[in-house]
Amino acid sequence: MGSGLLMETLQGDSGVLHTFARVSRGPGGTRVVDSCGAGACDVDVIKLRTKALDVGAVSAEIIAPSYTPTALELAKEYGIRLKSSTTRPRRKSPPRRSGRTG
């Protein structure tokens, strides 16, 4: 995981240091986000769940351009949000008309 973003590290209850793409802390608890430059698979979802449980995160999210069917199923079961990192291509504007006829 990781896509060249500035990463943040948290120490889990196990003593292991875990790296995330983003960490936010608020009154509701810690939220963690991981990113995958390529498509995310089941192993990526399991890794994030394990890290999130160890640091006591209240929510977890993965950002990736695509997900395998197994990753989608596991994320749903584990309550991990999935977000697409693909950007939609901009629609081309129709050619301008000059306003003159004939």
28-57 per-position pLDDT tens digit? 999 999 998 888 999 999 999 999 999 999
What structural domains and CATH numbers belong to the chain?
A: 8-84 (3.40.1350.10)
Look at residue 66 and tell me whether its pLDDT is greater than 80.
yes
Helix (H) or strand (E) holding 74: helix 69-78
Name the amino acid, one letter, at 97: R
Tokens 């584990």 map to which residue? 78
Residue 95's pLDDT is: 54
Question: Region 17-32: what's the mean pLDDT?
Answer: 94
